[in-house]
Structures are given as structure tokens and as C-alpha cells.
Amino acid sequence: MTDPVPPRNSAMAVAASALKAQQSRMRVIAENIANAQSTADVAGGQPYRRQIPVFQAREIDGATGVTLAEVRPDMGNFRSEYDPSHPAANAEGYVLRPNVDTLVEAMDMREAQRAYEANLNVIETARSMDSRTLDILKK
């Protein structure tokens, strides 16, 4: 008879999935911030459209974790600015600006960072508990 394989620490696996999801979220937010002032390449064209990460639950070792399912465009309205000398200006002289609010993006980034840190703490705590359990079993 073979020894049973011990189950993986599902708390660590779930927290690790959340770390990966928050890392992806921060990447999308950084892309939004980087393109907050981008305009269209051609006159009257559309500028950068804000991207929104969409998460999905997934089972990990009998527990529910999370994964980035897709990144969707935010279909909110673009800002319009009168600048007839701009190369992307339409016939009326207006330039469409991205629908990215850098203040909202900065708040989302901070929230993602805090969630990332919280999940790191979960992993540290689970690791510490595993270590203490092994110490008790050794005695």
C-alpha cells in the first residue's frame, strides 16, 4: 500500500490565484494610465478605450479561487476637447480623448495593491501554520 499524497494547502493555492489575478489587474490599470492622453492616429478617429479586467471563479483543490477571464473595453463615452490644430481633430475641430480617468485608475491601482498584499499575508500565515504543525509533529 502506498502512502497517501497529502493534500495541497488550498488556502495557499487560492491566495496564489488571487495574487496572479491582482497582478493582471495592475497590468491593465497601468496600461490605462499609460494611454490616458492618447488620441486617434487619424482625424476624427477613436482614441484609446479604457480596459476593464473581468474575473471568474475557479475551483482550486476543493476551494474557490479566481482567475482573469478576459479584458473588456469600457464602452463609456469619450471626452471631447476643442483643438482644431490637433492632427486628430474632426471637421468641427474637436478631438476625442480617452475615457480614462487617472484618479479612478490610481484608486483602482491602490485597491489592487492592497488586495495583493492581503493575499501575500494569507500565504505567509498559511506557511507559518504549516511550519508550526510540522514542529509539533516532530516532538
Q: What's the pLDDT tens digit per position in 81-90? A: 999 999 999 9
Domain regions of the chain by residue span: 8-138
Closest CA to 81 of 91, 90, 94: 94
pTM beyond 0.85: the answer is no
pLDDT in tens, 62-86: 889 999 999 999 999 999 999 999 9
Which parts of the chain have pLDDT scores under 70? 1-8
Which residues lie closer than 8 Å to 36 by C-beta, 6 or more apart?
48, 98, 100, 102, 105
Output DSSP code: residue 113.
H
State the virtual CA torsion across 18, 69, 55, 74 in degrees, nearest 10.
130
Cα–Cα distances in angstroms (integers) from residue 78 to residues 26, 52, 71, in the given order: 22, 15, 19
